[in-house]
């Protein structure tokens, strides 16, 4: 059997370490992409995507919604998790089973077997949208990892150090790629460079990102 035939018969995701505690799982969510996008659509029908404001009054270029027990929000009052959508006052939609299964499976593959997310932040990037370097530090337990799923058009993920001034790695991400970081990498700065105009058969010009966390 040649190597080409072996590779075609073994569609296992490829793990690419970024640093101690962080890894990219290439194509991990590829086969479940359509089901994940259907879940996003169901969530967005209950709580539509919106561009939130930062405490300083800046309107984010990325549109967001959430599902799970806790949703992450930002407004003039600050950054925080809460049970209800701040606009409608209704609880966030339940996390779809396919979301939870993917998040726990990716975390286990990356070496975090006990991860049970209670929050999923869903980001929708249109061309020109970006996410500046930041830390995920609004959660209560930093022992739990972050699981970040890319769907749709490609993007460049920035993965920095523990200080804002550390030069970040530039990591290209395609549809189905999953980044998991925790342990010594849990508080590393990260972000997404400005999304370029592109097209994907499942999402058109959009990129979606599912970020799973244990908030409480």
> For residue 171, what pLDDT band results from cuts at 50, 70 and 90?
very high
Do 151 and 174 contact (CB within 8 A), yes or no? no
The 10s digit of each residue's pLDDT in 86-143 is: 999 999 999 999 999 999 999 999 999 999 999 999 999 999 999 999 999 999 999 9
Average pLDDT, the chain: 94
* Whether pLDDT at 158 is above 80: yes
Residue 188 has pLDDT above 80, yes or no: yes
**pLDDT score, position 91:** 96
Which CATH number, 3.40.50.720, 1.20.1070.10, 2.60.120.590, 2.120.10.30, labels domain 13-213? Answer: 2.60.120.590
Cα distances (angstroms) measured from residue 87 to each of 66, 125, 197: 13, 21, 30
User: Looking at residue 92, what is its pLDDT?
Assistant: 98
200 pLDDT above the threshold of 80: yes
**Residue 2: per-residue pLDDT:** 34
What does the angle CA 119 – CA 123 – CA 126 come to, to the nearest 5 degrees? 175
139 contacts 109 by C-beta, under 8 angstroms: no
Tens of pLDDT, residues 28-74: 999 999 999 999 999 999 999 999 999 999 999 999 999 999 999 99
Q: Which pLDDT score is estimated for 143?
A: 95
Reply yes or no on whether the pLDDT at 10 is more than 70: no
HSE value, Cβ hemisphere, 13 Å, CA-based, for 130: 11
Q: Where are the domains of the chain?
A: 13-213
The alpha-helical segments, DSSP class H, found in 10-81 are 33-46
The alpha-carbon radius of gyration of the chain (Å, integer) is 17
Query: Above 60 in pLDDT, residue 173?
Result: yes
What is the share, in percent, of the chain residues with pLDDT greater than 70? 94
Asked if residue 158 lies in contact with residue 166, where contact means CB atoms within 8 angstroms, the answer is no
Query: Binning pLDDT at 50, 70 and 90, where does residue 12 land?
Result: low
Q: Is the pLDDT of residue 4 over 70?
A: no
- Judged against a pLDDT cut of 90, whether residue 146 lies above it is answered with yes
CB of 50 closer than 8 Å to CB of 39: no
Q: Which tokens hold the place of 8? A: 């075609």
């Amino acid at each position: 059997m040649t190597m080409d035939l072996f590779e075609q018969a073994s569609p296992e995701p490829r793990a690419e370490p970024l640093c101690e505690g962080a890894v990219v799982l290439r194509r991990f969510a590829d086969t479940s992409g359509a089901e994940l996008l259907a879940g996003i659509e169901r969530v967005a029908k209950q709580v539509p995507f919106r561009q939130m404001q930062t405490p300083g009054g800046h309107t984010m270029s990325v549109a967001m919604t959430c599902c799970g027990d806790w949703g992450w929000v930002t407004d003039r009052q600050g950054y925080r998790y809460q049970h209800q959508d701040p606009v409608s006052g209704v609880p966030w939609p339940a996390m779809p089973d396919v979301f939870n299964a993917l998040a726990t499976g990716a975390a286990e593959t990356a070496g975090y077997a006990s991860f049970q997310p209670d929050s999923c932040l869903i980001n929708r990037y249109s061309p020109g949208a970006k996410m500046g370097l930041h830390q995920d530090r609004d959660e209560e337990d930093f022992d739990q990892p972050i699981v970040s799923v890319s769907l749709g058009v490609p993007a460049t993920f920035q993965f920095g150090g523990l200080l804002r001034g550390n030069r970040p790695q530039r990591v290209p991400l395609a549809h189905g790629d999953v980044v998991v970081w925790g342990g010594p990498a849990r508080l590393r700065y990260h972000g997404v460079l400005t999304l370029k105009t592109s097209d994907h058969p499942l999402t058109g010009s959009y990129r979606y990102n599912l970020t799973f966390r244990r908030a409480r």
